[in-house]
C-alpha cells in the first residue's frame, strides 16, 4: 500500500479512529480516577552486630552477604510483619507491603514500603529496620551462640511522599491515547478491507483513471418526481447536473461525436434519472438534444417523464414507423425523447444491428447532442454494444450502493471489448462531499439559459411550433 492510500483510508474513516481514541482516553481516565492511590516511601539502614552486655568476652561477629540475603528473604514473613503491626498499632492481618535490596557488598539495606496512606508508608519503612534486627538472631545460629545481636542504624529515614506513585495520570492517558490510536487505525483498515461498497472517489480511482465528472448529491429532487432540472432548477441536484453537463462537453471535444451512452454497473444506481436530467440540462443550454431509451429490457425513461412509451426505438428498428413520428418533445426546454417502445425478445441483437447503427448516425447528424440510456453493464452486454456506436460512455456509480466487485466486473467487461469509460458520475453523494457551490442568486449560466428558453418560445410562437 502506498502512503497516499494509507492516508486516504485514514481520511475516509477518521471518525472511527477519533472515536476509538476518545473512548480509550476516557477509559484510561476512568481507571485513573477509580484506582486507589499508592504511595511509596524509601529508607536506607545499616546493619551491624553488637555484643550483649551479660555475655562473656569474645570475638566480634561480622555479618556476611548470606546473612543479609537471609534477612531480605524473611522480610515479608509473619516473624517480621506481626511485631511490626503490633508496634505500629495496626490491626492483625492489616496489609503491609515492604521490600528490600542490598547495596553492593555492604551491610546497607534499601527499604521500600508502599501503602494507600503516605504517613503509613513512611512509618513502615522506618520501623522495618528495628524489627528486622530484633528477630535476626533467630535466623543465625552463629550469631546467637556468640552472644551478639543485630543493630539497625538509619542512614536515610523515610519521609511521607507528597504524591502517589500510582496511578500516573499522564502515563495512563498517554497509553490510552496510543492504544486508541492503534486500535482505531487497525479497525479502520479492517473495515476498509471488509468494505464491499464504493464509498468515494478513491474506491473508483483504484480501478480506473477516467475523470470524475460530477458528484450528484443525495437529496429529494422534487416533491413530484425525479426531474430536478425542470422542477427545482436552482437546487443542489440540478446544479450538480449542470456541472456534469459542462464537464461532459469538455470530454466531447476529444471525441467530436456528440453522443454518449449513460449506464451503470448494476441496477438501482440512478442511471436513468441522471440521463434524463443531463439531457434536460443539455437542452437548457440551447443545444438540440435527444434522449434515447435503449434499455430494451426494463425501459424507464417514459415512466420517469410521464409520457407514452408503447412506441419508440423498437418500432423504428422494425420498420413500422419513421423515427420522426415516434420522437416526442418534452418540457419547455426543447428536449426530444425517443422511448424504448415494445420490449423485444432479442435486445442485444437488435441494438447491435445495422438499422440501429444507421439510425444513430442519422440522429447524431440531426441533433446537437444525443444521450442514450442503456441497461447496466454487468447483467447484460447491451451497453457494450451501444458504446461502439457513440462517442463515449458515462458510468454512474451509486455511492454506498455500488459494490466494488460489480464496478470491477463492469470495467473489466468494457476493457475486454476495447470500450473505455469517458468519465464517472458519483450518485447519492451525501453532505458536502459533492463539492458543489450554492448561491442565493441565479448564476450567469442560469440567466443565459433562461434567455435561451425565452428566445426559443418566441421562435416557436412565430413559426407555429418547433419542427424536426
pLDDT at 223: 41
- Phi then psi for residue 290, to 5 deg, are -120, 130
pLDDT at 10: 84
For residue range 121-133, list pLDDT tens digits in order. Answer: 999 999 998 888 8
The residue whose grid cell reads 516473624 is: 79
pLDDT at 219: 63
For 135, residues 6+ apart whose C-beta sits below 8 A from its C-beta are: 74, 79, 80, 83
pLDDT at 467: 39
pLDDT at 144: 63
Give the angle subtended at the CA of 199 by the CAs of 194 and 202, to the nearest 5°.
Answer: 95
pLDDT at 150: 83
CB atoms within 10 A of CB 52: 10
pLDDT < 50 stretches in the chain:
220-224, 433-449, 451, 454, 458, 461-468
Helices of type H across 159-235: 169-194, 201-205, 228-231
**Among 66, 65, 60, 123, residue whose Cα is nearest residue 89:** 123
Residue 41 CA to residue 36 CA, distance in Å, equals 16
**Total-model pTM:** 0.61
For residue range 133-143, list pLDDT tens digits in order. Answer: 888 777 776 67
The domains found in the chain, sorted by start residue, are 3-35+167-194 (no CATH), 39-156 (3.30.70.1130), 201-463 (3.40.50.300)
CB 410 within 8 A of CB 400: no
Q: Is 336 helix (H, G, I), strand (E, B) or coil?
A: strand
Residue 316 CA to residue 313 CA, distance in Å, equals 5
CB atoms within 10 A of CB 400: 13
- Pull the grid cell for residue 95: 496489609
CB 68 within 8 A of CB 107: yes
For 108, residues 6+ apart whose C-beta sits below 8 A from its C-beta are: 44, 45, 46, 47, 102, 155
Residue 393 CA to residue 282 CA, distance in Å, equals 16
pLDDT at 432: 52
pLDDT at 228: 84
Amino acid at each position: 500500500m502506498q502512503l497516499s492510500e494509507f492516508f486516504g483510508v485514514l481520511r475516509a474513516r477518521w471518525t472511527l479512529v477519533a472515536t476509538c481514541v476518545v473512548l480509550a482516553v476516557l477509559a484510561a481516565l476512568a481507571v485513573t480516577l477509580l484506582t486507589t492511590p499508592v504511595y511509596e516511601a524509601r529508607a536506607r539502614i545499616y546493619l551491624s552486630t553488637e555484643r550483649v552486655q551479660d555475655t562473656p568476652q569474645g570475638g566480634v561477629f561480622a555479618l556476611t552477604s548470606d546473612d543479609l540475603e537471609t534477612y531480605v528473604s524473611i522480610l515479608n514473613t509473619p516473624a517480621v510483619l506481626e511485631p511490626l503491626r503490633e508496634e505500629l498499632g495496626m490491626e492483625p492481618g492489616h496489609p503491609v507491603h515492604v521490600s528490600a535490596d542490598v547495596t553492593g557488598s555492604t551491610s546497607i539495606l534499601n527499604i521500600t514500603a508502599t501503602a494507600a496512606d503516605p504517613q503509613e508508608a513512611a512509618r513502615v519503612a522506618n520501623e522495618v529496620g528495628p524489627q528486622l534486627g530484633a528477630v535476626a538472631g533467630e535466623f543465625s545460629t552463629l550469631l546467637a551462640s556468640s552472644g551478639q545481636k543485630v543493630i539497625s542504624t538509619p542512614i536515610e529515614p523515610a519521609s511521607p511522599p507528597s504524591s502517589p506513585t500510582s496511578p500516573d495520570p499522564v502515563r495512563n492517558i498517554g497509553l490510552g491515547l496510543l492504544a486508541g490510536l492503534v486500535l482505531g487505525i487497525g479497525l479502520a483498515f479492517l473495515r476498509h478491507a471488509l468494505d464491499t461498497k464504493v464509498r468515494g472517489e478513491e474506491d473508483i480511482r483504484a480501478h480506473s483513471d477516467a475523470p470524475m465528472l460530477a458528484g450528484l448529491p443525495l437529496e429529494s429532487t422534487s416533491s413530484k418526481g425525479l426531474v430536478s432540472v425542470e422542477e427545482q432548477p436552482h437546487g443542489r441536484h440540478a446544479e450538480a447536473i449542470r456541472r456534469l453537463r459542462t464537464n461532459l462537453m469538455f470530454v466531447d471535444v476529444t471525441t467530436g461525436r456528440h453522443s454518449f451512452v449513460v449506464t451503470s454497473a448494476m441496477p438501482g444506481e440512478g442511471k436513468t434519472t441522471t440521463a434524463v436530467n443531463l439531457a434536460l440540462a443539455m437542452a437548457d443550454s440551447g443545444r438540440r438534444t435527444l434522449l434515447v431509451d435503449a434499455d430494451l429490457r426494463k425501459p424507464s425513461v417514459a415512466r420517469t417523464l410521464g409520457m407514452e412509451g408503447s412506441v419508440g426505438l423498437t418500432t423504428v428498428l422494425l420498420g413500422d414507423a419513421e423515427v420522426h413520428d415516434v420522437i416526442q418533445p418534452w418540457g419547455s426546454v426543447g428536449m426530444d425523447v425517443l422511448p424504448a417502445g415494445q420490449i423485444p425478445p432479442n435486445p442485444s441483437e437488435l441494438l447491435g444491428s445495422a438499422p440501429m447503427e444507421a439510425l444513430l448516425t442519422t440522429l447524431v447528424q440531426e441533433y446537437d447532442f444525443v444521450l442514450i440510456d442503456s441497461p447496466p453493464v454487468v447483467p447484460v452486454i447491451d451497453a457494450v454494444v451501444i458504446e461502439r456506436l457513440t462517442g463515449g460512455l458515462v458510468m454512474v456509480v451509486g455511492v454506498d450502493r455500488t459494490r466494488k466487485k460489480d464496478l470491477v466486473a463492469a470495467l473489466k467487461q468494457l476493457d475486454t471489448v476495447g470500450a473505455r469509460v469517458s468519465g464517472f458520475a458519483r450518485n447519492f453523494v451525501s453532505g458536502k462531499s459533492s463539492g458543489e457551490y450554492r448561491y442565493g442568486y441565479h448564476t450567469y449560466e442560469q440567466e443565459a439559459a433562461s434567455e435561451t428558453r425565452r428566445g426559443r418560445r418566441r421562435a416557436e410562437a412565430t413559426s407555429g411550433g418547433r419542427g424536426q
